[in-house]
Amino acid sequence: MQESIFWSDEEDVISHQYAYFSIKGVQYIIDFSSDPDLIANFTELDSRICEIVAGHHSYTVKFAVREYYEDHRNNKYLFDAPEDHNFGRKDIQQLKEFLEKFLYEHFKQYQVECYCFIAERDSLNRMYRKMCKRRHLLLADFEPIYGLGNEQNCFIIKTPLYGER
């Protein structure tokens, strides 16, 4: 049996799975959460989200600079870009590949029907749209839906298991 790349935690009956990764010396964390309240907050942004995720095994996805995520005293907004990151095209491609890999691995292990996420910055919105339009081969059978929400920064990824439960 393959060892999981995620570790789990439960806070107030909310299941989380986490993984770390690093790009150009910046440590990141990705958080997959099955928080029904958070998913309900997504639906407040756009009623179409509720229509898609209602009754389905859904998770939210967040990723952030590990330091910002774990140390709330650092006066940084959780989704701020890392200081002096100067990421080039190759670094952004690597970030995209990490996110796609973790999404696929999480799907395989936890049998999720759909994932919801919000692009908190314009640069993330652009990257997520590229991920949706030019999906990694691992995600070829996944159906992205984007342009949701008041700011068109909400995304849903339907997995091949969508609607099979």
Give the CATH number for residue 112: 3.40.630
N residues, the chain: 165
In 3D, which of 49, 133, 66, 64 has the Cα closest to residue 99? 64
Integer CA distances (angstroms), 157 to 81, 99, 129, 142, 150, in order: 23, 13, 11, 6, 18
Is residue 131 assigned to a domain? yes
Mean predicted lDDT score pLDDT of the chain: 84
pLDDT of residue 14: 80
Q: What is the residue range of 19's domain?
A: 7-158
Confidence of residue 133 (pLDDT cuts 50, 70, 90): confident
Is residue 107 assigned to a domain? yes
pLDDT of residue 81: 62
Confidence of residue 7 (pLDDT cuts 50, 70, 90): confident
Calculate mean pLDDT across residues 72-84: 60
Is residue 164 assigned to a domain? no
CA atoms within 13 A on the CB side of 155: 23
Domain count, the chain: 1
Is residue 91 assigned to a domain? yes
Is residue 87 assigned to a domain? yes
Is residue 42 assigned to a domain? yes
Calculate mean pLDDT across residues 89-117: 92
Calculate mean pLDDT across residues 23-39: 85
Is residue 96 assigned to a domain? yes
Integer CA distances (angstroms), 55 to 6, 48, 110, 131, in order: 25, 14, 16, 26
Cα–Cα distance, 16 to 30 (Å, whole number): 10
pLDDT of residue 67: 82
Highest averaged pLDDT of the listed ranges 36-45, 70-79, 110-119: 110-119
pLDDT of residue 80: 61
Q: Which residue has the tokens 């652009």?
A: 126
